[in-house]
Amino acid sequence: MTTSRIVYVNGTFLPFAEASIPVMDRGFLFGDGIYEVTALIEGRLADNEAHLQRLDRSLREIGIPNPYSTAKWTAVQQELITRNGLTEGLIYIEVTRGVSERDFLYPADLKPTVVMFTQAKSVRANAALAKGADVITVPDLRWARRDIKSVSLLAQVLAKRAAAEAGANEAWMVEDGVITEGASSTAFIVTQAKEIISRPLSHAVLPGVTRRAVLRLVEEKHLSFIERTFTVEEALRAREAFFTSASTIVMPVVSIDGQPVGDGKPGPLALQLRELYIETLLGTR
């Protein structure tokens, strides 16, 4: 994080040090807002249209009017990328309900707050790839509408902290005996019969954009995919496990709660899907 970074706040591009939002912004006070994160690899936005579609859906689900068209969102993203000289990293968007005196009820005519910034980060050459990711399991403490990409992320923050304290890369959350998803990712396993498994979309999980892109590759390659829930015990018996997200693409899982998955090495199918995703994005296939 540097003061030379340019951010976008409510229609204006500003130096990072000059950017601010009011104390009475409902995103700050209530977590009353929506966010999206899109990866940039070699100057190309990954699945950006799908991210913006999900942003629009999440806003509609909680009754915040989308302040921009898809074309306007994309134009602002591209301008921010240019101003920051970014070729690889993440683009973060947040839209809150707006600013008003602190009260659970809010005026009907609030103007949404829009914030956007970039984060320079190595997405393609993730350091965890060589060894694979270690995962721990934690209870799923979140609210009932996880399909909405809300900025209210306290449960995920606690899960990530627990993972870090355990020396792991990610936490998989468990509810009613089955894995819901990762703290910031979609969970997959590959059975001994080479069936790729991930739970169905519902209010219980976020509809992952990278998940959707990877499943298109699965279909294209005529791989077996089954939507259903799975337990921690089944994951430990799996041939492979992996998770997907905008920032990690496809990440092989080599252990869960300290126990190895498969042979304890990054799974070949996960690595294949990762490379296919990158090749498709860059047009090198």
Q: Return d(Cα 217, Cα 154) in angstroms, integer.
A: 33
From 183, 175, 185, select the one nearest 154 (Cα to Cα): 183
Residues linked to residue 15 through DSSP beta bridges, in sequence order: 6
Q: Where are the alpha helices (DSSP H) in the chain?
A: 26-30, 48-61, 70-84, 154-165, 209-220, 232-236, 268-282
149 is catalytic: yes
Q: Whole-angstrom Cα distance, residue 52 to residue 73?
A: 8
Which of these is catalytic: 72, 111, 131, 149? Answer: 149
The gap from C-alpha 83 to its chain's centroid, in whole angstroms, comes to 24
Q: 235 CB contacts (<8 Å, ≥6 apart)? A: 172, 179, 187, 189, 241, 256, 261
Local structure of 253: helix, strand or coil: strand
Query: Any idea which residues carry the catalytic annotation?
Result: 149
